[in-house]
A and B are shown apart, each in its own frame.
Chain A
Amino acid sequence: MNSNSRPSFPRSWIDLPLRYVLILGALFACMMYWIDTALMYHLYVIRAFRSPWATLDAGMLDHVFSTVPLSMREEPLAAWFVRPGGPIGLAAAWISEYFFIGWVGAVAVTVATALVCLAMGELLAAVGRRRNHPLVFVPVVLVLAMAAQYVNPLPMALAVLVALAAAAAYLRLAGRSALVSAVAFLALSLVVFYLAGKAYLVLALVAAAWELNRAGRRVIALLWFLAGVLVPAAGAHLWPEAAHPSWVGRWLPFLAAENGRLTFTLPMGQWTTVPMAIGFVATGLAAVALTSWRRAERLRPLASVVLVLLLAVGAFLAWRLHNPVQPAAARMSLLAESGQWDRLLDEARAFPEPWYAAPLRHEVLRALYHTGRLGDDLFLYPQDMEGLAFKMQRDARKDCAAMAWSYLELGRLNEAEFLAQNSIETYDDRPGVLKLLAVVNVAKGHGEGAKIFLRRLRRYRAYRDEADAMLAALDKDPLLTADPYVTHLRSVAFPSDAVKAHSRIGDRWEDLVLANPRNRMAVEYLFTWWLLSRQVPEIVNHLSYLDVIDRPMLPRRWQEAILLYHAIEKRPVALGRWGIGPEVVACYTDFLQQWEAARRAADPEAAMAGLTDRFGHTYFYYYFFGPGAGER
């Protein structure tokens, strides 16, 4: 081949090492400052590592929440080596365990991607092309697109690396004879499929495309194409447990398990597989194009344009697919886990309302309670009744870990345990839930049961010290009688058994208050529920519950609710030691005036927006305009 005739980018393009430094440096910067690999760890890695089965198909990790282990038995090491994709999965999982240290994750992903780029260069060199061809950097975009969705790209990168390296080796060997090609392909197929699972398809595609371009090798090309499907199918057959459709589906790119059956599916339908689909298309296309160029010189410029377009589309996808909601929720969860309530509330203020799913609402309520701001700053954050109105059966499949923590601290230990176990049943082990279950069991006096959860918790490297400390404490004192948190939980624990769901939602907190009037959290949550459900008379009629509140004035929003009741019902309220501050009365008067003015304004929408800006944090506004107000 004549390298002078190749289409090329301007010579002013910087040399290969510098390109690597610039492009991979950009990737590293993105991983460090745009994508937080520490959050990726909490969102994703801990799941993948927990269940070795989940990374069976290291090259095709997707569906974070649909991975179901085939066996409950845990063989942490052996399980990785007895099934296709396991070794690469293990390597990826082992490295990913350190992602909780943000820079380690960024370095690992960047280095793995650099190796993939080098393997691409080797592949190109094997067909006589430049090692610094732009195609070499396609994997950077793929990796970024995956990472932007907070899907750990490391397993894919390592698996593709193995496949590309094998493909380069094949191209070096395959030129000799059909027999050598066959032997090389067979040997490489076995190795790559075992090491990298479904990424084996990359090898099959490249090898087939290469053979397609060679005279008299069309049959071989067809065989290699078929091998891309048949080898995984044979693997599924030989390994009995792999016959499960979900695993076969993971090996084959256009098949997925649905209700236990294999169905054809377009990968574009699943966001997390988009980058992988692009990867396959790009690799296959590149290989075919490269091997075809010898005959179709005129297509070369077109192929270069396609490659540039691919890079552009990939970059666009990486930007578009960046999902800030998941990491934000994970971050809130982490802040709650570590009790950084002020920081949680500060960061949550910046979140747009659509991000406020039920778990986040619970974290915010808990943070407001722990900072003593629940009655004052409640409406600085989006609120509605649904946040608190959890129904055990209806919402069983929702992620209820955040609510479980609330129930625990409220004193409903069994419900907290149920919610946490429910979370594990649906979403598998997660450190926060394991920790909660350990605490619940300690509070219930089940020290040995707690230890089982703690020993599971310590498998997560980021939590090992914490788990070890608690295990050591339990060894010294199985009931942790000296632990103030556990002592507090026992002091607020609900005393009498009940087996029926509460007919009224508020009863779940009121029962706690009646059982233990000193349960301040239950009192505050009960009043919060009455606020959110607009049961203002209940607030007025139960001011005696507030004896537990240790502050000179009632929280501001509760004062507003009482004033509202007085204004609407025109009845006197026996406030006891409490009073309504003049500033609350003034605010209400102002609110009514502004509301009236807004109704008469020439531009009511703008006027209402002004009302929202000025009074959106008050109970007056929530009562009349908040979610569910129209139903009244």
Chain B
Amino acid sequence: MRMVVACGFLRTASLVALLLAASGCADRAAEPPTTPTEDRPPHIVPDYADVTVPPNMAPPSFRIDESGSRYHVVVEAPAGKPMVLAGGQSDVAIPLAAWREVLDANRGRSLSLRVSVQGEDGRWRVFRPLTVHVADDPIDRYLVYRLIRPIFNTWGPIGIYQRDLAGWDETTVIHNASFGEGCVNCHTFKANDPRTMMLHTRGGTAGSATILIRDGDASRVNTASAYGLTSYTSWHPGGAMAVCAVIKVRQFFHGVREETRDVIDLDSTLVYYLVDEDRVATHPSLSRRDRMETYPCWHPDGRWLYFSSARKLWGDSDQLPPERYSEVRYDLVRVAYDDATGQWGEPETVLASDETRLSITQPRISPDGRFLVFCMSDYGCFPVFQKSSDLYLMDLDTRQYRRLDINSDQSDSWHSWSSNGRWLVFASKRGNGLFGRLYICHVDLDGRFSKPLLVPQQDPRFYDSFAMTYNVPELASGPVPIRGNRLARLIRSPMPDGERLPMTSASPTVGAGQAEGDLYRRDPGGEP
């Protein structure tokens, strides 16, 4: 066991040194009885009871939230010897190597954690065992995410980081200090492969930039259009095109609401970037003057682009916030695309906000094309600042959707799928209401989600005092292949061509036979 003393230096040192990892190391004389004396499992923080862990992930370190003078944990598995961890501190950090052995031998099975706590009087309290399920499906090894302060108002520190989920290593992909402030956002991979990715920067002294990584090589490209700068992106499965949202995004603040911050798109549209041609274009199906399109998401078959679209309720795109900001609700829409001819179809409404009475955003489709997970919140396009935001699952075969039971009473958003479609990672403010943390769920073939697993940290108390918020988590099969200093140099380099590319496609307008702000025709359903 890796029992960790409770504070500062000693705690960290104990993470390294004070490990009693093997059963033979445990103090036999101090072993508790095996029969439970308590009719409940122990309280542990984070709550890892009944979670499902990937078979290739680092162990979940936790703290036993029960008072005592000595702690004893036995990890029992169907295969292999029990792992006994004992010590005088309540922090439990399971050794990485031993954990890997247990997982390797027990894929698809369940582990039992038997926790006993000895009181000052020498009496042992033996709790009912906790269960941790080991999935058979591995998770992508890297998790790429953004860390940001709860308020981002003065171009303060912000960065994109990558965590090796097999261990504890976290490295910086890019930090805004390396290119003179500004925002860095929307890192997007093609099918979880970091060798093809895009990321954007906005504002700051280096100006705004789009960085394209293709086949492991990075370049700065010009995706600025007459409408503005690109942000949320989705790669076409073929890799020759990425659809991006161009958003006029603004932040404002609430005087009383529980969540102080709010974000609104005063206007938005979709454009597509043709990689080989190095050209930005749009199409009337993606861009209507009377509506705001955002959050593009390609279906894995490359024939359908899903996105969120809302009627624009204001004429003045400069007023902040607009009078009717709290009435704007996004519909879930899709449009057909023919990769062979490059032709776009007519947009269809998949799920209307009039029906749900909620705003539908951030659609993300599973790699097998069967499930679509999206957010619904009371209004608007930025669910992370909506306490009401929850995750929903739509079966694209049946078009039935349901609220997932992995949600909390706080904002749940920014979800993404693993490359094998068996894991979903998302950001949630559960527990504290202020700071986003990342959770992982296993998803079975029938779309059942396991209890959310807080991404483990080496220090069980890491999240207790971590005052940054996690968002935009994306699972990746490997590390981002370009070093941060190279990315920073590219961002600081002059923009290609030195000017904004004109929109080369048709002028955005209202579709034929439609009135301003109308919904798209209703998608009859049936075809995924």
A413 nearest in chain B by CB position: B256
Of B111-119, B177-185, B239-247, B284-292, the one touching chain A: B177-185
**B488 surroundings in chain A (CB, below 8 A):** 244, 260
The answer to whether A425 and B151 have CB atoms under 8 Å apart is yes
B492's partner among A260, A392, A455 (CB-CB below 8 A) is A260
A 493-536 contacts with B by CB, 8 A: 493-500
The interface centre, meaning the residue of A240, A414, A445 with most chain B CB atoms within 10 A of its CB, is: A414
Give the docked Cα–Cα distance between A453 and B255 (Å).
21
CA distance A456 to B177 in the complex (A): 23
CB B248 to nearest CB in A, in angstroms, measures 17
Query: Beyond A260-B488, A261-B492, is A71–B175 a contact (Cβ under 8 Å)?
Result: yes
Is B343 at the interface (CB under 8 A from chain A)? no
A72 CA to B177 CA, complexed, in Å: 12
Q: Which residues of B contact A246 (CB under 8 A)?
A: 177
Chain A residue numbers with a CB within 8 Å of B12 are 76-78
Interface residue from B156, B171, B255, B258 paired with A415 (Cβ < 8 Å): B255
Inter-chain contact B151/A240, CB cutoff 8 Å: no
A426 touches B156 (CB 8 A): yes
Assuming the A-B contacts A72-B468, A414-B260, A418-B253, are A243 and B485 also in contact, with contact meaning beta carbons closer than 8 angstroms in the complex? yes
Bound together, the chains give a CA A456 to CA B468 distance in angstroms of 12
For residue A377, CB closer than 8 A to chain B, the reply is no
- The answer to whether A449 and B433 touch (CB under 8 A), given A71-B170, A243-B485, A260-B492, is yes
The answer to the question of A131 belonging to the interface, with a C-beta cut-off of 8 Å to chain B, is: no
Residue of B nearest to A457 (CB): B465
Rounded to whole angstroms, the CA-CA distance of A71 and B150 in the bound complex is: 16
- Does the CB pair A418–B465 fall under 8 Å? no
Within 8 A of A (CB), among B152-183: 152-154, 156-157, 159, 161, 170-172, 175, 177-180
Contact yes or no, A71 B492, CB < 8 A: no
Known A-B contacts A77-B12, A426-B154, A452-B435; the reply to A497 vs B256 at CB < 8 A is: yes
A244 to B435, CA, bound (A): 27
Give the total of A residues in contact with B, Cβ under 8 Å. Answer: 54
- The chain B residue sitting closest to A90, CB to CB, is B9
Residue of A nearest to B326 (CB): A499
Contact check, A499 vs B254: say whether CB atoms are below 8 A apart: yes
Secondary structure of the B side of the interface? Answer: loop
Q: A71-B172, A421-B149, A449-B435 are in contact. Are A494 and B255 (CB under 8 A)?
A: yes
A/B pair count, beta carbons within 8 Å? 151
Q: Do residues B13 and A241 form an inter-chain contact, with CB atoms below 8 A?
A: no
Contact A73 B258, beta carbon cutoff 8 Å = no
Complex: how many Å from CA A361 to CA B268? 43
Judging by beta carbons under 8 Å apart, are A418 and B260 in contact?
Answer: yes
Q: Which one of B8, B151, B434, B435 lies within 8 Å of A76 (CB-CB)? A: B8
Are A260 and B206 interface neighbours, CB within 8 A? Answer: yes
Instruction: Establish whether residues B152 and A425, one from each chain, have CB atoms under 8 Å apart when the complex forms.
Output: yes
Q: Is the CB of B177 within 8 A of A244?
A: yes
Instruction: Decide: A245 near B178, CB < 8 A? Known: A71-B172, A414-B254.
Output: yes
Taken residue by residue from 64 to 90, chain A's Cβ proximity to chain B (1 for < 8 Å, 0 otherwise) reads as 000011111110111000000000000
Known: A424-B149, A452-B466. A444 touches B156 (CB 8 A): no
Q: Mark interface residues in A154-190 (1 if CB within 8 Å of B CB, else 0).
A: 0000000000000000000000000000000000000
User: Distance in Å from the Cβ of A435 to the closest Cβ of chain B?
Assistant: 13
Measured CB to CB, the closest approach of chain B to A53, in angstroms, equals: 10
B464 at the interface (CB under 8 A from A): yes
**How far is it, in angstroms, between the C-alpha of A259 and the C-alpha of B434 when the chains are bound?**
31
In the complex, whether A451 has a CB less than 8 A from a CB of chain B is yes
Contact flag A456-B465 (CB < 8 Å), given A78-B12, A244-B177: yes
* Chain B: CB-nearest residue to A440: B260
Q: Mark A435-465, 1 if CB is under 8 A from B, else 0.
A: 0000001001110110111011001000000
Given A73-B161, A261-B492, A500-B321, are A241 and B172 also a contact pair (CB < 8 Å)? yes
Closest chain B residue to A392, Cβ basis = B253
For B150, B177, B180, B257, the residue with the greatest tally of chain A CB atoms inside 10 Å of its CB is B177
**Pair B175/A244 contact, Cβ less than 8 Å:** yes
B147 within 8 A of A: yes
Q: Are A412 and B153 in contact (CB under 8 A)?
A: no
Min CB gap A504→B, angstroms: 15
19 of the cross-chain contacts (CB-CB < 8 Å) are A70-B175, A72-B157, A72-B159, A73-B170, A77-B12, A240-B483, A259-B205, A260-B177, A418-B260, A425-B157, A445-B258, A448-B431, A448-B432, A448-B433, A449-B434, A456-B467, A494-B255, A494-B256, A497-B255
Interface residues of A (CB under 8 A from B): 68-74, 76-78, 240-241, 243-246, 259-261, 392, 396-397, 412-415, 417-418, 421-422, 424-426, 429, 441, 444-446, 448-449, 451-453, 455-456, 459, 493-500
19 more CB-based (< 8 A) A-B contacts, given A70-B175, A260-B488, A396-B154: A72-B161, A73-B161, A73-B170, A77-B9, A244-B488, A259-B205, A260-B179, A260-B492, A414-B254, A418-B260, A421-B260, A424-B149, A444-B258, A449-B435, A451-B432, A452-B435, A452-B464, A497-B255, A500-B321
Interface residues in chain B, defined as those with a beta carbon under 8 Å from any beta carbon in chain A: 8-9, 12-13, 147, 149-154, 156-157, 159, 161, 170-172, 175, 177-180, 205-206, 252-258, 260, 262, 321, 325, 431-435, 464-468, 483-485, 488, 492
